[in-house]
Structures are given as C-alpha cells and as structure tokens.
C-alpha cells in the first residue's frame, strides 16, 4: 500500500526534486495534485476548528470552497475547438475526428461579434449525439414506411464506395475512421439518402436534440461542489466554464478530467480516507446486473447500436453463451461501421463478435476490450485503472468471472459529494436532464 503523504512531506519531496533536477530546473506537482493539496489544507483546517463534521460533510465543505476557475485547462493552452452552426453533420464529425475529441460547442455564425455567450453558442454537439440522431431518423423512416431495413434499402437505393466517394474516403484515410463516405452512412443507418441526412443536414438543424439551450454552463466563480454535482447527479458529461465578460468559453470540464484529478490525489489524507474503502463500502456498483443492457456475441452488431439509442446508454457489453463479457461496444464505435470496409460490408448480419474482431484488426482498437474489477477492490484502485485506461466504465465481475455490475465515471463522482437540501433552489424543478435509466 502506498504511504500517505502529509503536506509538509510533499513540499519536502518537491524541494528534493528541484535540487536533483539537472541544470537546476524544477519539476512541479501537476495542477491536479495542487488542487488536491488545496483540499488537504481546507480538510486540515476543519480538523483544527474541531468541527464535528462527517466525512461527507467535510468533503462537501472543501469542494464548496474552491472555485472552478482553479480547475486545470483541459485543452492545455490550445485554442478551443468550436464547430460553426452552418457546418454539416459530416463536417462536424470530421472536426471531432481530426481533433480527437468527442464533443465541441457549436458557435452561432449569425451572432454578432459582441454577443453574449448565450447568443454566441447554440449548444454542444457530441459524436455520440450525431450517431444517435441518425439512428433515430433511420428507424423513424423505416417505421413510417412499415418496411424492414433490407426493403428500405431496395426502395431508396444504396450508394457504395465508388468513384468520387472513394476518392473522398482516400483523402481522409489518415483521420480517425469516423466518416469516409455518404454511402457508408446510407448503408449503416437503414440506407437513407446520406446526401440529405449526413452531407446536407446542418448542425444547427439538430439543435432541438441538444439537452440545453445553449448549454448548462459554469461561471469561474462557481465552486467545485456545484461542478461535481452537475457531472454526477445531474448527468452532465461535460461542463463549459464561460467568461461572462468576454462571452467566450474559458474551459471545458469533463467527468474524465475529474477522475484524472482524483488519481493525482493518491496519498493525500482526505483522498485515502475515502479512496481506500471498498466498492461495497461506498455503495458501488449502482447499476446491478439485472439492469445492464447487453448483447450476445452471435447477435448483429447493429442491434447493439439500436439498443444504445433506445435505452439511452453509451455502451453495451458483449457476452458469450455463459454470460461472460468478451468485449464492449460503445456508441462511438459506430465509426468502424462507417468505413464500409470489405470486412464490414455485410453490416446487417455482421455479428458483434466479428465486428469487434474486425475493428481490432483494422485499427488496434483497445477500447473494445473490457476492464473489470471485483466488489472487494478499493475505490482508489478503480479510479487509477479507469484513468490509466482512459475508459468511461468498468464492469464488476463475480468469482466465476461473470458480470455482476457496472460502474461509470459518473457513479464514482456521485459517491464523492452529496447535494445539500435546497442547494440548487428550484432551478431543476420539472427538468429531467436525461431519462432516469440513462447510463450515457
């Protein structure tokens, strides 16, 4: 077990590092670790005050004392990636792919230069959101015509990767394989004419599917407690921090960034007191086996994506006949179907097992494997594993190796803090950010 470091010991270690570094250059603690030390200072001050607070109350008090302006910038000084509202869905996916991000704010191209942030942006678009929207449109069209996917394809006609489409695909082959042809989209999503759905539909045209208008944002003076509650209980996957004066976004805080911050706090007293508890001790997993949406390895891969859309989940485990998880398909993995490669052409009959094998062979996609834990593991172990693997979820398995539960980044954050009575007033009255069963 790693020894708990006190604040003075950490500072002493830092001094040694400075002396030992060649040419006298200093190696400072990470910005995330510095946040952890600030929490430690507040934690210690509460002990000095001899306030009779529970562990949860102390954590709430600590995080409610630190402004979100202190959170490290997630884009490391680089320019924030924005998507213009007049971009097509194809262009939006291309921007997300080139920058290796899963979401970006949508800038209103018609807004004046001096517009406030409310008028400057129309929302945040996610890669998963685009995929889900396309799935919804294809299923709605199929239902309206009362025909199956194969019949719909025959009725509307499919476009294959030939001619200009093939040339266009070659031009973007070096990018993340998200969108390479209108034919691929047409095949995957029920063979609807992609010229209308994908290459002509503007991002602003699907703004009705955005969860907030323009989005739920933080100000730099808001606290970590507010941020943590929104990312957990209120199911926000990312939160823009806006500069009210400039009318711009100064930072975007994600669930993954928060879990990374926690991983940098290992060794601090406040973290160890919480993080060394087992999953069972802190009430995880929240998602029980009976509630997990899954697909068998011999079922069509397309079924996994349709289930994700219908159930409001961001990923599905793939299991064998005995119930053992053999892989995982996330909503973003639809990009592997969009390549329309020879191995994935028969997408309607392509099994989940074959889909995963093809994706691993073509791109070395490690994310389609699963990471697991047991109920006896510590919260700290889970945080370190999720951060190291850059994953959104981890599956709990029993002694026989079968699925026993699911833990997401949101679940972990939800166990770190709690919402005090009346904290948000009536702001969320009548507002349901996501369905209650959502695991996106």
Per residue in 187-222, pLDDT (tens digit) is 434 333 344 677 888 998 887 555 555 578 899 999
Could you tell me the CATH number of the domain that includes residue 368?
A: 3.10.580.10
CA distance 357 to 368: 9
Q: In terms of pLDDT, which residue wins out, 334 or 118?
A: 118
CA distance 276 to 110: 52
Does the pLDDT of residue 16 top 60, yes or no?
A: no
CA distance 305 to 303: 5
213-259: per-residue pLDDT in tens?
A: 557 889 999 999 999 999 999 888 889 999 888 888 889 999 999 99
Q: How confident is the model at residue 366 (pLDDT cuts 50, 70, 90)?
A: low
- Predicted pLDDT of residue 347: 62
- Predicted pLDDT of residue 341: 54
Q: Do 51 and 119 fall within a single domain?
A: no
Q: Is residue 243 part of a domain?
A: yes
Q: Tokens 């949508």 identify what position? A: 106
391-435: per-residue pLDDT in tens?
A: 989 999 988 888 899 999 999 999 999 999 999 887 766 544 444
Helical residues (DSSP H) of 198-254, grouped into ranges: 224-232
Q: Do 283 and 411 fall within a single domain?
A: yes
Does the pLDDT of residue 381 top 50, yes or no?
A: yes
Q: How confident is the model at residue 139 (pLDDT cuts 50, 70, 90)?
A: low
Q: Do 312 and 208 fall within a single domain?
A: no
Mean pLDDT, residues 279-288 = 90
Q: Do 40 and 135 fall within a single domain?
A: no
Q: Do 159 and 124 fall within a single domain?
A: yes
Does the pLDDT of residue 92 top 70, yes or no?
A: yes
- Predicted pLDDT of residue 93: 82
- Predicted pLDDT of residue 232: 93
To the nearest 10 degrees (0 to 180), the angle between helices 31-48 and 55-63 is 120
Q: In terms of pLDDT, which residue wins out, 365 or 415?
A: 415
Which of 225, 254, 283 represents a domain boundary (last residue)?
254
Q: Is residue 207 part of a domain?
A: yes
Q: Do 280 and 352 fall within a single domain?
A: yes
- Predicted pLDDT of residue 306: 83
Q: Is residue 227 part of a domain?
A: no
- Predicted pLDDT of residue 367: 59
Q: Do 179 and 321 fall within a single domain?
A: no
- Predicted pLDDT of residue 76: 56
Does the pLDDT of residue 165 top 70, yes or no?
A: no
- Predicted pLDDT of residue 169: 28
The residue range of the domain holding 308 is 266-416
24-60: per-residue pLDDT in tens?
A: 444 468 999 999 999 999 999 987 776 678 899 999 9
- Predicted pLDDT of residue 228: 97
- Predicted pLDDT of residue 212: 54
Q: How many domains, the chain? A: 3
Q: Do 304 and 270 fall within a single domain?
A: yes
Among 83-87, 90-94, 164-168, 332-336, whose mean pLDDT is lowest? 164-168
* Contact (Cβ atoms closer than 8 angstroms) between residue 219 and residue 227: no
Q: Is residue 433 part of a domain?
A: no
* Contact (Cβ atoms closer than 8 angstroms) between residue 257 and residue 74: yes
Q: How confident is the model at residue 380 (pLDDT cuts 50, 70, 90)?
A: very high
Q: Is residue 383 part of a domain?
A: yes
Q: Do 93 and 164 fall within a single domain?
A: yes
- Predicted pLDDT of residue 51: 67
Q: Do 249 and 365 fall within a single domain?
A: no
Q: Do 181 and 250 fall within a single domain?
A: yes
Cβ neighbours of 378 (radius 10 Å): 19
Q: Is residue 189 part of a domain?
A: yes
- Predicted pLDDT of residue 57: 94
Q: Is residue 281 part of a domain?
A: yes
Record the tokens describing residue 52, joined without a space.
Answer: 């009779």
Could you tell me the CATH number of the domain that includes residue 212?
A: 3.10.580
- Predicted pLDDT of residue 196: 62
Q: Do 117 and 57 fall within a single domain?
A: no
* Contact (Cβ atoms closer than 8 angstroms) between residue 85 and residue 108: yes
Q: Is residue 229 part of a domain?
A: no
């Amino acid at each position: 077990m790693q020894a708990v470091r006190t604040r003075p010991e950490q500072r002493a270690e830092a001094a040694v590092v400075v002396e030992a570094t060649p040419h006298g250059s200093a190696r400072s603690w990470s910005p995330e670790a510095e946040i952890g030390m600030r929490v430690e200072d507040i934690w210690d001050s509460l002990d000095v005050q001899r306030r009779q607070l529970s562990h949860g109350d102390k954590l709430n008090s600590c995080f409610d004392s630190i402004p979100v302006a202190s959170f490290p910038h997630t884009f490391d000084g680089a320019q924030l990636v924005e998507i213009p509202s007049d971009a097509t869905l194809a262009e939006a996916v291309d921007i997300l792919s080139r920058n290796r991000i899963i979401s970006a704010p949508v800038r209103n191209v018609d807004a004046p230069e001096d517009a406030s942030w409310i008028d400057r942006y129309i929302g945040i678009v996610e890669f998963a959101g685009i995929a889900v929207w396309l799935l919804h449109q294809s299923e709605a069209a199929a239902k309206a015509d009362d025909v199956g996917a194969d019949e719909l394809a025959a009725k509307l006609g499919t476009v294959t990767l030939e001619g200009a489409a093939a040339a266009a695909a070659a031009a973007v082959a070096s990018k993340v394989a998200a969108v390479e042809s209108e034919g691929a989209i047409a095949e995957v999503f029920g063979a609807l004419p992609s010229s209308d759905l994908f290459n002509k539909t503007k991002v602003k045209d699907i703004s009705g599917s955005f969860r907030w208008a323009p989005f739920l944002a933080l100000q730099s003076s808001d606290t970590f407690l507010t941020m943590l509650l929104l990312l957990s209980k209120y199911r926000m996957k990312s939160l823009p921090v806006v500069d009210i004066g400039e009318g711009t976004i100064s930072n975007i805080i994600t669930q993954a960034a928060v879990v990374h911050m926690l991983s940098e706090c290992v060794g601090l007293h406040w973290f160890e007191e919480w993080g060394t508890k087992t999953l069972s001790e802190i009430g995880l997993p929240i998602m029980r086996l009976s509630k997990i949406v899954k697909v068998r390895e011999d079922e069509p891969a397309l079924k996994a994506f349709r289930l994700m859309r219908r159930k409001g989940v961001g990923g599905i485990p793939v299991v064998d006949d005995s119930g053992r998880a053999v892989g995982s398909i996330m909503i973003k993995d639809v990009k592997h179907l969009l390549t329309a490669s020879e191995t994935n052409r028969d997408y309607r009959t392509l099994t989940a097992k074959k889909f995963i094998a093809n994706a691993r062979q073509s791109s070395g996609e490690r994310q389609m494997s699963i990471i697991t834990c047991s109920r006896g593991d510590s919260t700290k172990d889970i945080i370190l594993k999720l951060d190291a693997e850059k994953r959104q979820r981890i599956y709990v398995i029993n002694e026989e190796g079968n699925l026993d539960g699911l833990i997401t980044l949101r679940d972990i954050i939800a166990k770190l803090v709690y919402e005090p009575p009346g904290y948000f007033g009536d702001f969320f009255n009548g507002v349901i950010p996501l369905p209650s069963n959502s695991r996106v």
